[in-house]
Structure 1
Amino acid sequence: MKTVPTLYEWAGGMPVFEKLMASFYDKVLQDPLLEPVFKHMSPDHRLHVAHFVAEVFGGPKFYSTAEGSHFKMIQKHIGKHLTEAHRKQWVKLLVETADTLALPDDPEFRSAFMAYLEWGTRLAVINSSLEENPLGTNEPMPAWGWGVPGGPYIPS
């Protein structure tokens, strides 16, 4: 029986997620729309986001065991008043970075990757207009998988 890798494994593991977020946030800080939102981020922000996304995609629980929780990630967006323009530009730059770094571009991986980006960024915009976190402090971390395709594209 063939084992289906996690999205984290298929992408290449933690070094890929850490490099993705480091390169991505370099672009964010050069972007006129996003720079004002992120210019005061902590020096650890890139690494925390890398660990969060890696964990969501089936990687090690670095974020939830040592850096934060789903509640704390949502809390960072409360009251930020993000717009649809912010969301679209954030996704655009992250996808461009994924392409530049040659993350897997098979249809199944990119479908799952894009679905998570769409879901997560739309929640971020919704939560950014709130004054209080809608989650409980013990809310579990999201877990993202392959979705409808059911696994990676492997040419025959």
Structure 2
Amino acid sequence: MTDEYTTTLHDWAGGTAALERLCEAFYRRVRADDLLAPLFAAMPPDHPRHVAMWLAEVFGGPARYTAERGGYPTMLRHHLGKAITEPQRRRWVNLMMDAADEVGLPADPEFRAAFAGYLEWGTRLALANSQPGAEPVRDAPVPRWGWGVAPPYRP
């Protein structure tokens, strides 16, 4: 095991299995949500697993989303033309944070700050990239999200 300064967010969260549980709980909430359900009406059954693969890679886990799904260009294509609204973006973040609580992702402030930071950053990009006429960068690497300035503290 690495120390608290080099442990990835992926490992701290509990690995890919924890992120899969997170995405399953999250998308159960999405399907029942009046604001988000229409946006995800055509969601294939394996969508939660694919989002978990994305998050795992972003948080320092295996690069399976890139290897198996095509990386950033694939994720971008899923958002183009969706015209996501600010209320939908905020609801997405809120439901993801609720799902994190439900499945028991670490609740320490350092992890949750990094986790919430990525959700805010990523959803703001998705919102911008989803707008009609948007011209996003089409080929970029999957982002790698870390602890920022506050690594986890272990007494």
2:142 paired residue number? 141
Residue pairs, 1:61-80, within 5 angstroms: 61-80=63-82
2:27 counterpart of 1:25 = yes
8 Å contact kept, 1:13–1:59: yes
1:122 paired residue number? 124
1:69–1:25 distance in 2 versus 1, CA, 3 Å = same
Number of aligned pairs?
153
Superposition TM-score, scaled by structure 2 size: 0.93
Match of 1:41 among 43, 47, 50: 43
Superposition TM-score, scaled by structure 1 size: 0.93
8 Å contact kept, 1:57–1:145: yes
1:131–1:43 distance in 2 versus 1, CA, 3 Å = farther
2:153 counterpart of 1:153 = yes
**Distance across 2 between alignment mates of 1:59 and 1:105:** 19
8 Å contact kept, 2:27–2:48: yes
Measured on the aligned residues, the alpha-carbon RMSD in Å equals 1.5
8 Å contact kept, 2:89–2:127: yes
Task: Give the Å deviation of 1:74.
Answer: 1.1
1:100 paired residue number? 102
Task: Give the Å deviation of 1:133.
Answer: 5.3
Stretches of structure 2 lacking an aligned partner (at least 5 in a row): none
Stretches of structure 1 lacking an aligned partner (at least 5 in a row): none
Give % identity: 48
Task: Give the Å deviation of 1:136.
Answer: 3.4
